[in-house]
Structure 1
């Protein structure tokens, strides 16, 4: 036993032993793609990957694996239905919901936001649009991140939309909308205020109506504050070895569009299938959702579309990645044929190495030799 855990409470010692054991053994596995299974198990064994993996081909699951522990203190192992904070994939989800309102004629991507928020400051509001906000091309400064960094206790506050927008999303524009790019979370405070005012519903209810109920998403939804209260949620850790170190990053209610979505790998796959098979949006709306607004950043609306080398050829990929605190979630889908890889982790794993694993698995889904 490492000296750093000597003297720890017995419950933690037992949990750590469970974590160490489960890291060595694959969890619940379904493997039509033997190469995918080999890659994932080798990566989990050698790199200490703690999380879940899903690979699909032609709309069919060909590999599913769960590794390690979802809750070290309780000794709960990972399963394919373990839930994770989705981080910035929440923005893509928010863009889908917003596009549904656009499709219904209740919103317009290129209308001034003062059309919907008449109290927003007029000198900038008439130049801002949903398209600029959702592509991070608005010039709205990232006041929220600056404030939360200066005072982390702000992450525990609750604010109504008008107060949140006025406090954290009404600064002088950093550049003329549409001329540059800045990954500003403050954009999504404004989007939340718009979609809730126009729809007359709380955002969490919109997500249920537009996505969860129609697509049968059982392990997804919106959380506020710390995600530990969500049933079936993985706990977040800065590390599991040599000592269990919890890590949380609360999401206040007004930031839920930017980072307040949780999901499992299976539900995220069902969501992607629902979007790209036009069960949620029309083909024209999906095309708009995935149309790259900022080529230098590969950024569309709420997410990215990248051309990646996959199985020996360049392919356009819907590229979604999210992190919050200890959580890392990656979802890649080849647009031409739907081959997909979804990974989720709860131990602050190196995001570049997660990308290496995703590349190897996506290659393997085509039958190509690969190793992360």
Structure 2
């Protein structure tokens, strides 16, 4: 029976910066249930923690990441937890290659598309407060928006069909020395009306534009700048003191910010596109991202029932994996849901995975955009030595996960 369960949990395919895990349950319950109390839920999870087992895994992880650094060019930071407790963290290489400024686990990196989960959280906060509805159309907030029938929910789940602003702005944004912000994205679309890729709600189509529009809607609904809203409502309450949304002037809010490099180790120049946020633009550290991970079990930001909506599959046509609100989703054959996201933008790659069943977490941030994260599949057998699960994931201009076949 165990062998059959394990076999059902093995998916063929080459992992490219994506890792999933399936654990044996100590009961017949297969679904993860979020509780309103972090302490109550953690009690049962923490009882699964074994110090000797964690020490053994930490040694193997340290060996693996040192090898990644020396042989694969991995330059970044990592934090891995299991049963809700950190079992390993480390920093490898430099924040600035020219200065040889060593990375630490408090070095901040651009999260790229991992930022989308924070934008979704902002929307959920406003929804709970009655300041917006998932079924609101964009025209409620921006009457000049030229694409009819697109709702907040469609933006969250990548079903808007909107064209990609990172492409059409090349034709319509005249001053490349001036940052393009979210409000300007709306104005540009209203003025030039670039052709949409699909009609609304016809199919899933990963959209950076959609999340930029969501950030603009957050600004209208909250009457605050997006970066200020996130600081007030999420980062500050959670003690994420080294996390912020880029606004063109705030790259030094922590003592150390990693410089982004190409795979050839050339500095990636600042871009006018960096001013648009929501799809990207959050800077954070592995330490702060673990605070975020833990807070998602606590009900501190939104109610558990509200958060659970983010983890529900929203695209019926997607078979092998799905997308919720700011999260990629996978339900394993053994019944356990896994949520994750990758990111890739201008020299930065990021990866954040959560198995909510045993509260395992893998957080990896890097500032050299090479293929080192493609070897993260080797973390899986260290965390779950009796089980191996390889999976396939997606990519986009701000998403670090490479296409390896499948849906």
Same structural fold, with TM-score higher than 0.5 when normalized by the shorter chain: yes
**2:301: which partner in 1?**
280
Q: Which has the higher contact order (CA 8 A, sep 6+)?
A: 2
Q: Is 1:205 aligned with 2:228?
A: yes
Moved more, 30-39 or 68-77: 30-39
Q: Is 1:80 aligned with 2:105?
A: yes
Q: Distance in 1 between matches of 2:239 and 2:232?
A: 11
Determine which structure has the larger helix proportion and give its number: 1
CA gap of 1:175–1:147, structure 2 versus 1, over 3 A, is closer
Q: Distance in 1 between matches of 2:249 and 2:267?
A: 12
**1:364: which partner in 2?**
382
CA gap of 1:85–1:275, structure 2 versus 1, over 3 A, is same
Determine which structure has the larger strand proportion and give its number: 1
Question: How far did 1:137 drift?
Answer: 0.4
CA gap of 1:150–1:117, structure 2 versus 1, over 3 A, is closer
Q: Is 1:330 aligned with 2:351?
A: yes
Do the aligned residues in 2 keep the contact of 1:156 with 1:252 (CA within 8 Å)? no
Question: How far did 1:38 drift?
Answer: 2.1
CA gap of 1:337–1:257, structure 2 versus 1, over 3 A, is same
Q: Is 1:141 aligned with 2:141?
A: no
RMSD (Å) for aligned C-alpha atoms: 2.9
**2:3: which partner in 1?**
none
CA gap of 1:306–1:256, structure 2 versus 1, over 3 A, is same
**1:11: which partner in 2?**
none
What is the 5 A alignment of 1:106-185?
A: 106-121=131-146, 124-125=147-148, 127-142=149-164, 144-149=165-170, 156-158=177-179, 161-168=182-189, 170-185=193-208
CA gap of 1:166–1:151, structure 2 versus 1, over 3 A, is closer
CA gap of 1:254–1:361, structure 2 versus 1, over 3 A, is same
Q: Is 1:218 aligned with 2:241?
A: yes
**1:304: which partner in 2?**
328
Q: Distance in 2 between matches of 1:120 and 1:226?
A: 28
CA gap of 1:362–1:168, structure 2 versus 1, over 3 A, is farther
Secondary structure of 1:224's aligned partner: coil
CA gap of 1:349–1:160, structure 2 versus 1, over 3 A, is closer
Moved more, 200-209 or 149-158: 149-158
**1:13: which partner in 2?**
none
> Which structure 1 residue ranges, 5 or more long, are not aligned?
1-29
Query: How many pairs were matched up?
Result: 330
Question: How far did 1:190 drift?
Answer: 2.1
